[in-house]
């Protein structure tokens, strides 16, 4: 199991002793995912927090028309909080999820189940503090995404996406980014063309 990226991630907040690292290793499970393989389906409870070691996952909903709406991405080498993915509400309430989580590309994740997470909270106090920060950051990220959709133009939302997910803009297909922004892939192509023509994308890179 490739635990080192997770240890490095946690130690970016607080150092762990060798004993704490060993204890953590007994509570984490590694999964390898194929492209489009789901780790959460609507109607089932979310039982894991998943940390992305390699690849990219998305959290999304499907409306009554069958249209997919991306809510969050998680990828390796992204901002610390953005490497975690879960339906937080379903996880903590132990209720069926209304969301899906699937791999956009072949991926490797490290998962912590609910009972193991609570065990680590009780056994390693610093782990409790670290996870509170991670969850708070996820909440802020989702809140900002909702506010962006309400108050910002499509171009502003795209520029924010580039800031939040700098490694994903060239990696994800237009349809996935457009779904996150709440626009069509065709309109996203127009935005990219306009930004390139104005030199804005060059300035950002």
Interval 149-166: pLDDT, tens: 889 999 999 998 888 777
> How many structural domains comprise the chain?
2
170 shares its domain with 200: yes
171 φ/ψ angles, rounded to the nearest 5 degrees: -100, -35
Q: Is the pLDDT of residue 129 over 70?
A: yes
Same domain, 15 and 87: yes
If pLDDT is split at 50, 70 and 90, which confidence band does 204 have? very low
| pLDDT for the residue numbered 202 | 46
Please indicate, yes or no, whether residues 156 and 144 belong to a single structural domain of this protein: no
Banded model confidence at residue 141, pLDDT cuts 50, 70, 90: confident
CATH code assigned at 46: 2.60.120.10
Look up residue 194 and give its two tokens.
Answer: 């306009």
Q: Verify that 188 and 115 share a domain, yes or no.
A: no
Question: b/e string for 36-64 if b means 16 or more Cβ within 10 A?
Answer: eeebbeeeeebbbbbbbbbbbbbbbeeee
Residue at which a domain ends, from 128, 150, 172: 150
Residues 123 and 49 reside in one and the same domain: yes
On whether the CB atoms of residues 71 and 60 are closer than 8 A, the answer is yes
198 and 112 fall within a common domain: no
Q: What is the domain extent for residue 126?
A: 4-150
Q: Give the tens place of pLDDT for each residue, 167-192.
A: 788 889 999 999 999 999 999 999 99
């Amino acid at each position: 199991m490739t635990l080192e990226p997770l240890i490095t991630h946690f130690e970016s907040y607080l150092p762990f002793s060798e004993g704490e690292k060993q204890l953590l290793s007994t509570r984490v499970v590694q999964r390898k995912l194929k492209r489009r393989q789901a780790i959460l389906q609507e109607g089932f409870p979310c039982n894991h927090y998943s940390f992305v070691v390699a690849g990219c996952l998305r959290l999304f909903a499907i409306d009554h028309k069958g249209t997919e709406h991306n809510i969050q991405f998680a990828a390796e080498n992204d901002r610390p909080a953005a490497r975690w993915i879960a339906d937080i509400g379903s996880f903590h309430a132990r209720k069926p999820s209304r969301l899906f989580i699937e791999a956009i590309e072949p991926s490797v994740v490290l998962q912590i189940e609910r009972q193991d997470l609570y065990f680590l909270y009780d056994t390693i106090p610093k782990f409790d503090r670290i996870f509170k920060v991670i969850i708070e950051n996820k909440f802020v990220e989702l809140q900002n995404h909702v506010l962006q959709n309400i108050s910002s133009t499509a171009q502003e939302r795209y520029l924010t996406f580039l800031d939040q997910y700098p490694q994903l803009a060239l990696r994800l297909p237009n349809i996935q980014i457009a779904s996150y922004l709440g626009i069509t892939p065709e309109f996203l192509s127009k935005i990219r063309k306009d930004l390139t023509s104005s030199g804005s994308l060059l300035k950002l890179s």
